[in-house]
Amino acid sequence: MTDLRIAEIFGPTVQGEGAVIGRPTVFIRAGGCDYRCSWCDSLHAVKSEYRHEWQKMTSQEIWHKVELLSSSVPLLVSISGGNPAIQDFSTVIEMGKQKGYQFACETQGSIAAPWFNALDMLVLSPKPPSSGHEVNWDMFENCLSQAMYKPNISLKIVIFDDVDFDWAYDVAQKYSNLPLYLQPGNDNVDADSTFDLLQNQQKYEWLINKVNEKKWYNAHVLPQLHVWLWGNKRGV
């Protein structure tokens, strides 16, 4: 029985972004990632220096925690990270689906997991130039193939500057068949610092204006709702 590395399991709270924004959700945040984005807001689930904080849990232990948090009432379970595609969540998904739960996963699209096609929703979030990474589009295509378009698939891209915006527009043209969600990036990701809501709102307005100027009218432009409510606080 393989243990999974888990940074945290929390909720129910509301999904703060993407296609199911506002929906009550329990989050399973996996530990470990193949990326080191310059503006990562979840370093506690990414960097090896936090490995001592991650729990090794069986699928049964993970599912017991989800049921405990949700009082065994089916809701949406979001598997995130880090990059959850590194690990095998197929048994967790199978256990939950038997009890009426739904599953979403968010990943950057760098690793194709066989269990993608068991999801209800797959959110692919390719990282723009400001992240410091260059997307491997062959691997991204592998993720789409692995999912076999069985779950609802959408794109979510965070935007920090004009370069990111232009890059996201090009990506959207390439994958015009996928629903697209844009959101302004959060520059201040220090959990111990004071979150500047006004600055974040101004960046959101900037992004709305950019979209309108481009006449990019099929994009969904969203704030990070959880950031507006709780700043950089973990586990909400």
Query: Residue 41 carries which side chain, given as an amino acid letter?
Result: D
What is the spatial distance between Cα 28 and Cα 139, in angstroms, rounded to a whole number?
24
Q: At 85, give phi and psi (nearest 5°).
A: -65, -15
**What residues does 13 pair with on adjacent strands?**
25
DSSP 210: H
DSSP-based three-state secondary structure for 114: helix
- Please state, rounded to an integer, the average pLDDT across all residues of the chain: 91
129-184: per-residue pLDDT in tens?
Answer: 999 999 999 999 999 999 987 889 999 999 999 999 999 999 999 999 999 999 99
Q: Which residue has the tokens 């520059």?
A: 187
The fold for domain 4-230 equals: TIM Barrel (3.20.20)
Span between the terminal Cα atoms of the chain, in Å: 30
- By the 8 A CB rule, do 125 and 155 touch? yes
175-214: per-residue pLDDT in tens?
Answer: 999 999 999 988 765 655 666 778 888 999 999 999 999 9
Q: Which residue has the tokens 């807001």?
A: 41
90-112: per-residue pLDDT in tens?
Answer: 999 999 999 999 999 999 999 99
- By the 8 A CB rule, do 79 and 45 touch? no
Cis peptide bond N-terminal to 100, omega within 30: no
Of 35-44, 53-62, 166-175, 194-203, least confident by mean pLDDT is: 194-203
Query: Residue 166 carries which side chain, given as an amino acid letter?
Result: D
**What CA–CA distances, in Å, run from 201 to 63, 156, 182, 197?**
37, 19, 14, 6
What is the spatial distance between Cα 105 and Cα 229, in angstroms, rounded to a whole number?
22
